[in-house]
Amino acid sequence: MMNIWTVLIVAAVIAVGVAAWRFFQIWLRYLGRMVITCPENRKPAGVSVDASHALASGLGGNPELRLADCSRWPERAGCGQQCLSQIAQSPDDCLMRNILTRWYQDKNCAWCGLAIGDIHAGERKPALLKPDQTSVEWKDVPAEQLQETLATAQPLCFGCHMANTMVKSHPELVIDRKRPPLREAPRHPHAV
């Protein structure tokens, strides 16, 4: 028969586990750049939710949301934050990393043709190939320009992105084996 201390310890461990799981869910749901439609001008804006506040207020129920950052600040910092209703309704659809992950589904690299495949947190992420043939990482795309960028960009695998970055930043160190070989220079007619 279990004594009272064992029951209390098991109950405490379960309670801590449930609280930790709830914190983890809130953290994943609200951590990261988000794309919303600004209610004032009806254009995309990049925002970040105050994830710490959401954690602190969300253990017992729905977290209280407030913005930590907005691409329209400091000019519009006094807004009523009505955009939070979009995030509350569908936080997964607002997260930039989720939008990008969905965009890459079933796509192949524009250069090497390999499938992009599943994208997991903490792994090397594919990049975006812009129309000017420069590649850009996710973190370098402003959230408010994400939809515009995705409309004109092509998917680029991590390896091709790194090769493109190397060619752009250190062309003197790169040998491009796909280029046709240089033709021999014509011989001077008087050379022996």
Q: Identify the pLDDT of residue 183.
A: 47
The whole-chain average pLDDT of the chain stands at 83
Residue 20 has pLDDT above 60, yes or no: yes
In angstroms, what CA-CA distances link 31 with 90, 94, 119, 149?
14, 11, 17, 22
Domain chopping of the chain, boundaries: 1-94, 95-172
Work out the pLDDT band at 145, boundaries 50, 70, 90.
very high
Whole-model pTM? 0.73
Residue 173 has pLDDT above 50, yes or no: yes
d(CA 192, CA 82): 83
Residue 1 has pLDDT above 70, yes or no: no
Q: Identify the pLDDT of residue 127.
A: 92
Q: Identify the pLDDT of residue 70.
A: 92
The mean pLDDT of 123-129, rounded to a whole number, is 89
d(CA 31, CA 138): 15
